[in-house]
């Protein structure tokens, strides 16, 4: 398949380990944040979201942490699997129009 990005920061983890992907956002007025997973040749796929009135939200094998003080988001993936290999983007909603502003992306590579 076609590569989403050739020069992205890359995180390489062993299958079964936990992964942490970090993201800095730009707009202190943003009240909604979302993580997307993008596999090669596909559109972004929703993973988990969080509102600014929360610090942490958990899903199935994934946790998002929000630190508003330093404008930082992280995505934690427990027991990483080969199927988790993809590019991960954080996005923020800076205004009422719901357009999303995306960060630069991190490539996660899972070694079997």
Partner 1 sequence: DTGVSQDPRHKITKRGQNVTFRCDPISEHNRLYWYRQTLGQGPEFLTYFQNEAQLEKSRLLSDRFSAERPKGSFSTLEIQRTEQGDSAMYLCASTRSGVDEQFFGPGTRLTVL
DSSP string, 77-96: ESS--GGG-EEEEEEE--ST
CB under 8 A: which stretch of 4-12, 53-61, 64-72, 77-85 binds partner 1? 4-12
The least CB distance from residue 20 to partner 1, in Å, is 19
Q: Which is nearer to partner 1, 44 or 110 (CB)?
A: 44
5 binds partner 1 (CB under 8 A): yes
- Say if strands 106-111 and 10-14 run parallel, antiparallel, or are unpaired: parallel
**Closest by Cα among 53, 48, 52 to 21:** 48
CB under 8 A: which stretch of 3-11, 14-22, 52-60, 64-72 binds partner 1? 3-11
Question: Pattern of binders to partner 1 over 53-92, x per CB under 8 A?
Answer: ------------------------------------x-x-
């Amino acid at each position: 398949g076609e590569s989403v990005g050739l020069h992205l920061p890359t995180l390489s983890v062993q299958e079964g380990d936990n992964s942490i992907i970090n993201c800095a956002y730009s707009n202190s007025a943003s009240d909604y944040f979302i993580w997307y997973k993008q596999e090669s040749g596909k559109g972004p796929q929703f993973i988990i979201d969080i509102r600014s009135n929360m610090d942490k939200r958990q899903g199935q094998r994934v946790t998002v942490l929000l630190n508003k003080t330093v404008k930082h988001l992280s995505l934690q993936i427990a027991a990483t699997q080969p199927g988790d290999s993809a590019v991960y983007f954080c996005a923020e909603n800076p205004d009422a129009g719901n357009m999303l502003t995306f960060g630069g992306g991190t490539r996660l590579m899972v070694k079997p």
